Structure 1
Amino acid sequence: MGLLVDGTWTDQWYDTKSHGGKFVRSAAQFRNWITADGSAGPSGKAGFQAASGRYHLYVSYACPWAHRTLIFRTLKGLEEHITVSAVHPDMFSEGWTFETDDHGATGDTLYGLSHAHSVYTKADPTYSGRVTVPILWDKQQQTIVSNESSEIIRMFNSAFDGVTGNTLDFWPEEERDAIEEVNQRIYDTLNNGVYKSGFATTQEAYDAAIYPLFDTLDWLEEHLSENRYLMEDQITEADWRLFTTLIRFDPVYHLHFKCNRKRIVDYPNLWAYTRELYQVPGVAETVNFKHIVDHYLRSHTSINPHQIVPINPVIDYDAPHGRG
């Protein structure tokens, strides 16, 4: 896992030492918005109008942040309108690559590039920063629209409704304040909390992350004992943002990131909720467990230096969830 410095690739892991052993995630730098009419969104510049065939999505099936965008692409009927390239699950000294010798790794179907960092330098030859997925690319302007997953899913939620006729709304206006409050807690303690636990290099940093993580899982278990979804009986973006962490928890976070007080299958309500979301039509097809397990266990050599991939328990996500 490296980064670009003035457009030049550098193999450099996260600097936890300067943060007392804590993992600190970098902020996304491309923050433009696709809108229905091409007007400017909440950040960035105007000029990115929703249109069929104009945009391309670069993802990793292993990455929970990229997974969000694949789910929204499916739920909002955008498969025929937004093309996709999936990176190889292994991420070593050159970062994400477009090698194709693994099931589901497509290569760069747009330009035939060999590495994801080349997509960034194609957009900005002097870019400095981490090379992350998802990457939402504009074929017309030949640039990156956004690499911030939380904003890409909101673009997909509404910007293309006039193109697809799909008006499902996972960010309803009347629930936005409540959604933001839940999102903030889940992001800080759980979505990012698993990484803060797994990438910690001191006991103090690990302890500071792991206890809030399980406090949040306990809170979610209690909430879901009385509510079908995070916003009572309405499924929203908050549920999908949570889901991509839950689906990875038992296969990788529990063991690999030392989040091992409990598994998701040990929480009756959370486990049923996870199965229900997995069984929403189209969602299971966005989950690639082989890429998920292989990426984490083979790529994070600071945690698993011998790159041994465990066999893992057999988990039946298709089992009846019993939630209506």
Structure 2
Amino acid sequence: MSKQWASSDGSFKRQVSKFQEIISADHPIFKPAKGRYWLYVSLACPWAHRTLITRALKGLTSVIGVSVVHWHLDTKGWRFLPADEGSLEKAKRENLYKSKVGGIRSTLSDKSSPEGDIPNDSARLFVDGTFDPNERAQRLSDLYYKADPEYNARFTVPVLWDTKLKTIVSNESAQIIRVLNSGVFDKFAGDETIGLDLVPSELESQIDEFNSWVYDNINNGVYKTGFAENAEIYEKEVVNVFQHLDKVEAILKQRYEVLKSRYQSLDEVLSRYFTVGEQLTEADVRLYTTIVRFDPVYVQHFKCNLNSIRDGYPFIHLWLRNLYWNYDAFRYTTDFDHIKLHYTRSHSRINPLGITPLGPSPDIRSLRD
């Protein structure tokens, strides 16, 4: 970890996003349109993963295209893969930009494969990453500098890009998913739209309250644990993560027991088994992207090893598997290869040898285990 990520006491500090505009019919500049906006993401990044799940749940894959950076984050930041005109035409012809993950094939696998012989500079198109068909950028930083030539912070994903004005609308994931959920693109979705509202007004305050402590103590908590630069801070942060996982476990246990008393079949229970209320909401999306990475990466790489989800948290584990196996928007945007390779190969300060562990096996267990 670079020292720019840590304060003087060795604790992790997350960067505040600079670009935070919205898209709406009333906005003077950024108005909704089909094909105008583009997502740049990393499949490894939990913050970018939120936007992919929301885009898929809202039926917006034909409305907003996607490009995926290479899983390896080097000293210059995120990079795209090069592509010739034939590759660009093939991607356009096969609508690869409009898939749930921009054409990356390994998302169709339920487990990661041994990748010890894959070098960090591997350039397998539609496996390690994709290209930028809009600006032909080589690096994500190229887009940041195009939007703001004086930009001087880290080049983070996700990025919501305006292809018309050639600028960044937002690089704040929480804001992007609210924009995607707002309904401003629904009329362009056609048959894809399912009328799902991830932040219904009657649950909004509960969702916001749940998100607030989950973000600080779990989503960001694993980073504060993994990037801690002294033992005292690490021990404080890792205990805090598990205290809040205990809190989620208690919430889901109570929900399960209430639902089980009402419905006879497990399928009926699972169709209502969520963190806030009895419908899928933004709270589930935001928690999922951390929990699905927990056993494959955070247990060993970030030293969050007081327990695992699969062995220590039966109700969170059931909730996780329900989302993964019963909702394509979760399953087909989760790429265990990108997740494991990114963390173990990019954080040389944490894992200097760059060896990627083979386990756990499987990356995610079946729903009926």
8 Å CA contact 2:158–2:172 kept in 1: the answer is: yes
Task: State the distance in 2 between where 1:234 and 1:64 align.
Answer: 22
Pair 1:314-2:361 in alignment: yes
Larger RCO, structure (CA 8 Å, separation 6 or more): 2
Q: Where in structure 2 are the equivalents of 1:45-56 lying within 5 Å?
A: 46-56=28-38
Contact kept in structure 1, 2:11 and 2:229, CA below 8 Å:
yes
Rounded Cα–Cα distance in structure 2 between residues aligned with 1:198 and 1:72: 27
1:16 aligns with 2:6: yes
| 1:73-97 deviation digits (Å, cap 9, x = unpaired) | 1111111111111000001111111
Say if 2:71 and 2:128, in contact at 8 Å, map to a contact too.
no
**Deviation (angstroms), 1:315:** 2.2
Q: Which residue of 1 aligns with 2:305?
A: 260
Question: How do 1:6-155 and structure 2 match up within 5 A?
Answer: 13-18=3-8, 20-35=9-24, 37=25, 39-40=26-27, 46-99=28-81, 101-102=123-124, 103-155=127-179
Q: What are the ranges of 5 or more consecutive residues in structure 2 without an aligned counterpart?
A: 83-122, 256-272
Go from structure 1 to structure 2 and tell me whether the alpha carbon gap of 1:168 and 1:197 turns closer, same or farther (over 3 Å shift). same
What is residue 243 of structure 2 aligned with on the other side?
Answer: 215
Q: Specify whether residues 15 and 316 from structure 1 end up closer, same or farther in structure 2 by C-alpha distance, changes over 3 A only.
A: closer
SS state at 1:79 partner: coil
Cα offsets for 1:231-288 (capped at 9, x unmatched): 1312110110000000100000000000001111021111110011112133211111
8 Å contact from structure 2 (residues 37, 64) kept in 1: yes
* Structure 1 ranges of 4+ moved more than 6 A: none
Q: Is the contact made by 2:63 and 2:185 (CA closer than 8 Å) also made in structure 1?
A: no
Kindly indicate whether the alpha-carbon contact (under 8 Å) linking 1:273 and 1:321 is maintained by their aligned counterparts in 2.
Answer: no
Give the CA deviation at 1:314: 1.3
Q: If the length of structure 2 is used for normalisation, what is the TM-score?
A: 0.79
Q: Percent identity?
A: 45
Whether 1:168 and 2:196 are equivalent positions in the alignment is yes
| Partner-residue secondary structure (3-state), 2:161 | strand
**Secondary structure at the residue paired with 1:136?**
strand
- Per-residue CA distance 1:197-245 (angstroms, 9 max, x = gap): 0000011211221111101111111111122211131211011000000
CA-atom RMSD in angstroms: 1.6
1:243 equivalent in alignment to 2:232:
no
In 1, Cα distance between equivalents of 2:274 and 2:330: 16
Between the aligned partners of 1:317 and 1:259, the Cα distance in structure 2 is 17
1:275 aligns to 2:340 (yes or no): no
Residue 171 (structure 1) shift = 0.6
- 1:226 is the counterpart of 2:215: no
Q: Which has the higher strand share?
A: 1
Aligned pair count? 304
